[in-house]
Amino acid sequence: MLKLAVVGAGWAGMAAAVEAASRGAEVTVFEAARTLGGRARALPAILPDGSTAALDNGQHILIGAYANCLALMQKVGIDLSQALLSLPLSLPHADGSGLHTPSWAIGWPAPLDALAAIATTRGWRWRERLALVGTSLRWRRQGFNCDPQFTVAELCADLPVRVQQELIEPLCVSALNTPMVNASAAVFLTVLRDALFGPGVAGFSGSSLLLPRTDLSQLFPDAAARWLQQQDGSTGTSRLRIGTRVSMLRPQGAQWVLGHEDGEDVFDAVIWATAASPAEKTVRQAADACDDATGAVLMAWARSARALNHTAISTVYAWSADARLPAPMLALRAEPAGGAPAPAQFVFDRGQLNPLDRSAQGLLAFVISASSDDRDTLQAQVLEQAARQLGLHGLQPVQTVVEKRATFACTPGLVRPAQAITQGLWAAGDYVEGPYPATLEGAVRSGLAAARSATPAP
Ligand SMILES: Cc1cc2nc3c(=O)[nH]c(=O)nc-3n(C[C@H](O)[C@H](O)[C@H](O)COP(=O)(O)OP(=O)(O)OC[C@H]3O[C@@H](n4cnc5c(N)ncnc54)[C@H](O)[C@@H]3O)c2cc1C
């Protein structure tokens, strides 16, 4: 039986562990933190009234096109209809304008649901709606392919300014965490293809917005850990070493030795499933312990990981007993140039997502993709934005999470690190080569692919 180590219990690592165990490997997962989920994990917090609440490291959203992610969640026992609030494609503003799927088109197959949403968007002129429908159909005719060097801004240059500002820019910044002037048009088209024209899975339309009703650790990583332990009951093979940081990696013949605070273990294969930066450092150090040829391969891989640039995402959690939004999620407007800063693009009403959880009532999560300011500045600006745009004057800050290296900057022509590093050593993670931007779906796809490469077919 193949003895496999998975280093990192984020969504990529847990996907790799479940898939490898399913294929008969003896899996040990090492996770440095005490909570599973990595960048998509639960975060405990104290509310201003002294009660406790479960937040997330960052408010997340999934879409119905996340086929691998959703299928894996089901496999480990998550009831998707309970765990996710499914909304038809919509980007409503507080004043009721913005993209909405009309009630009569809910449940229509893709792309008709999205076309109906575009055709009936309030506040848009017919010329703007027709331009968007025409452009989407042209992208479809072209197979959602474009020059790999194109930015999203170049791809969409012919669309009316309002469509760019109210639809393309928020979609681009939330899907790729990169502003449209810098974002890869090819990756953007891949996400649009799956979201607007894909079949969707598990009864969801590809364009459905899926909002977690539980914290992010419960949504998949904790369930995956339970699933692995249940397999353990039958085969006695999977192990989870939480709170164990792997500090050393070196080859030993055809095997790999992992060093950690409790000693060393030897494995037939390793899937390194941390974020890019710790992966790069470990692989670079491992190169010193390899022969010259393997060392050069490892150094080349480390350089490709190091070359990635990263962008931040911040989440401002704020609370007031009577805060309630007109919808579970609203798009917020950028203010005109020279106006007051309005950094948050979206706000989520955690009370509507978790109606039975008392601690979630009145709790709002403001999301700032591609954020650049420091924590205190963002928090102050967001509270003022909430007062101006939503009329919420009494919000108190609960916690502001700034993830400086939230995702890689998804720019045109980017060459991402390969999944296969060298014999017996694979990389998994949202940054590894693949068609998706840094998302849960990208992380899960990468974990599954690494596990399939590392383990023989069952
Ligand atoms: C604030 C924020 C908002 C986001 N919003 C969305 C969204 O709305 N939708 C979406 O699809 N995606 C979103 N993303 C992206 C998504 O969270 C990531 O793409 C995904 O979680 C990456 O998973 P991963 O497994 O590749 O890496 P990680 O989550 O980084 O997991 C790596 C794991 O490795 C562990 N580790 C590191 N070093 C070691 C070591 N030496 N030994 C052992 N363990 C180690 C870490 O503790 C961590 O648990 C968001 C990300 C952030 C930060």
pLDDT of residue 435: 92
Residue 404: the pLDDT is: 95
Domains and CATH numbers, the chain: 3-40+218-308+413-454 (3.50.50.60), 89-207 (no CATH), 310-408 (3.90.660.20)
The atom number, within ligand 1, closest to the CA of 446 reads 26
Does the beta carbon of 151 sit less than 6 angstroms from any atom of ligand 1? Answer: no
User: What is the model's pLDDT at position 232?
Assistant: 66
Q: What is the best residue among 222, 274, 346 to mutate for testing ligand 1's pocket, by most ligand atoms within 8 Å of CB?
A: 274
Q: What are the per-10-residue average pLDDT scores of the chain (458 residues)?
A: 96 98 95 97 91 94 93 97 91 82 78 79 86 90 94 95 88 88 95 82 85 97 95 68 96 95 95 98 95 96 97 96 94 81 94 93 95 94 96 95 95 96 97 96 98 89
State the distance from the centre of ligand 1 to the C-alpha of 389, rounded, in angstroms.
31
Question: Contact 212/73 with Cβ under 8 angstroms?
Answer: no
Token pair belonging to 184: 């890869």
440, 441, 444, 448, best to mutate for ligand 1 pocket (most atoms within 8 Å of CB): 440
Does residue 8's CB lie within 6 angstroms of at least one atom of ligand 1?
yes
The Å distance, Cα 407 to ligand 1 centre, comes to 8
Which one of 28, 30, 35, 39 would you pick to mutate in the ligand 1 pocket, going by the greatest count of ligand atoms within 8 A of its CB?
A: 39
For residue 326, whether the previous peptide bond is cis, meaning omega lies within 30 degrees of 0, is no
214 Cα: distance to centroid of ligand 1 (angstroms): 17
Q: How far apart are CA 399 and CA 316, in angstroms?
A: 6
How close is the Cα of 343 to the center of ligand 1, in Å? 23
Ligand 1 centroid distance, CA of 275 (Å): 7
pLDDT attached to residue 233? 61
Q: Output the pLDDT for position 113.
A: 79
pLDDT at 62: 93
- Residue where the block lists tokens 């899996």: 27
Integer Cα distance of 83 and 219 in angstroms: 7
pLDDT at 22: 94
pTM (predicted TM-score): 0.95
Nearest CA to ligand 1 atom 51: 406
* 313 within ligand 1 shell (Cβ under 6 A): yes
Q: What pLDDT score does 103 carry?
A: 80
Of ligand 1's listed atoms, the one at least distance from the Cα of 314 is 1
Q: At what angle do helices 11-22 and 67-75 cross, to 10 degrees?
A: 60
What's the CA gap between 12 and 131, in Å, rounded?
Answer: 38
Separation CA 225–CA 64 (nearest Å)? 24
- Between CA 435 and CA 393 the distance in angstroms is 42
Evaluate: CB of 332 within 6 angstroms of ligand 1: no
Q: Assess contact for 11 and 440: CB atoms under 8 A.
A: yes
| Rounded Cα–Cα distance for residues 8 and 204 (Å) | 30
Cβ 217 under 6 angstroms from ligand 1: no
- Residue 457: both structure tokens together: 């077919």
